[in-house]
Chains A and B, each alone.
Chain A
């Protein structure tokens, strides 16, 4: 059963960051609880204090303003699915939200929680990486933003200091000539842990690729960008040969392991297949 802990329910952000500053590593922030409660049950997590952010106002919602999309940290996966703004400014994120767990988990799991859990299989992270998302971290010292591609420092390790809270996630509204998409390879459509997650964001102007983002989940210790593959596409005409070369590069730069869901060799092969497929789909969608 659960280890014992104290539960605090701060009423404002100020109160939350103050308490977190005082408690440091002893406190674990709780948003939707769909990861934290499981870790408490298994006693992977044995905190002195759980800080439930459910009462803090202003942490949930989606705003498009000044050319940026900003999500409050407690925005849920179901909120993403219900938002016309996200459908327009982050279709890959909608695709990931659609195949995310089951209804009850989607109704409570939050975007910030999916980032904070640090799992290489966190499904919202590859789409957010492909959108150039930034994470806003807030503490009593103020707020700072960290590019999501710099957020993870190792397996389940991140740039968040113990006294910081993720308060927002934001990204620039994609240019009109950009196509974004996500594919989750798993044993079934719902309620499954990802074997490979691939998100791409491709921009084409005057027949040439002006933007390439390829983000991969479940094939490295952290959700990663396939930067070598991206640089093989940017500035180029996206011929089938060019796309195949980039897909091969992506397969080479990831480092998948064998686990209960698939072998590393299978995952690496599927990265090549899926990156090529998604980039081709993007090219076709824009021509």
Chain B
């Protein structure tokens, strides 16, 4: 049966090795490696707190097996920007007060980034649709939508394909 096996994961541009059994989720492996910017919420794909980008698309890391993610490009919130050089979404979320307790924020930003890569000018409906898997129990969403729209504008004007 299943025993610990090494798996090389490409996380935020760096290879890291996790030694985990087959049944370990990517969420558990990432947090085990110290990537605690990936939050553990419902662990059944309802809350989006554990969202990461895999090959540029937002997925729930709680619904992905760690060993299945070998060879894929994994991006967590910290892979988007550093404290010295924040990603426009990170900057607008902090400047516009789009977080209260902050637990949903990493997943919210990852889901927003995944949306903006495909659709740089989302409508209100498209934005709500893209964030429908990221419940926030504090904010009421208004400031979150404002922050995503503000970041989208910055990203469009910067011409940065990110």
Contacts and interface: CB of A to CB of B under 8 A. Distances in A.
A5 B67 contact: no
Interface stretch (B53-61, B83-91, B96-104): B53-61
Interface string B21-60: 1111100000000000000000111101001000001111
A105 B60 contact: yes
Instruction: Identify whether the interface residues of A are mostly helix, strand, loop, or mixed.
Output: mixed
Contacts of A108: 59-60, 63-64
Contacts of B44: 37-38, 41
Nearest to B132: A190
Interface in B99-139: 111, 114-115, 118, 128-135
A30 B135 CA distance: 27
Nearest to A105: B45
B94 interface: no
Interface string A87-129: 0000000000010011111111000000000000000000000
A102 B58 CA distance: 11
Contacts of A98: 129
Interface in A21-67: 30, 32-34, 37-38, 40-41, 48, 50, 52, 54
Contacts of A34: 45, 60, 63
Contacts of A105: 45, 60, 63, 133
Given A6-B1, A6-B22, A102-B48, A107 B58 contact: yes
Interface in A178-196: 189-191
Interface residues of A, number: 33
A6 B132 contact: no
Nearest to B112: A103
B82 interface: no
Nearest to A192: B132
Given A6-B2, A38-B45, A104 B60 contact: yes
Contacts of A107: 57-59, 114
Contacts of B23: 2-5, 7, 40
B132 A189 contact: yes
B155 interface: no
B68 interface: yes
Given A38-B45, A103-B114, A104-B58, A5 B1 contact: yes
Contacts of A40: 23
A172 B130 CA distance: 31
B152 interface: no
Contacts of B60: 34, 104-105, 108
A7 B133 contact: no
Contact of A5 (B22, B114, B129): B22
Contacts of B18: none
B80 interface: no
11 contacts: A6-B2, A7-B2, A37-B45, A50-B65, A103-B58, A103-B114, A103-B131, A104-B59, A107-B58, A108-B59, A190-B133
Interface of A: 2-7, 9, 30, 32-34, 37-38, 40-41, 48, 50, 52, 54, 78, 82, 98, 101-108, 189-191
Return the 5 tightest CB-CB contacts between A and B, nearest first.
A102-B133, A190-B132, A7-B22, A4-B2, A2-B23
Given A102-B133, A103-B130, 14 more contacts: A5-B1, A5-B22, A6-B22, A7-B23, A30-B68, A34-B45, A34-B63, A41-B43, A48-B1, A50-B22, A103-B131, A103-B134, A190-B128, A191-B46
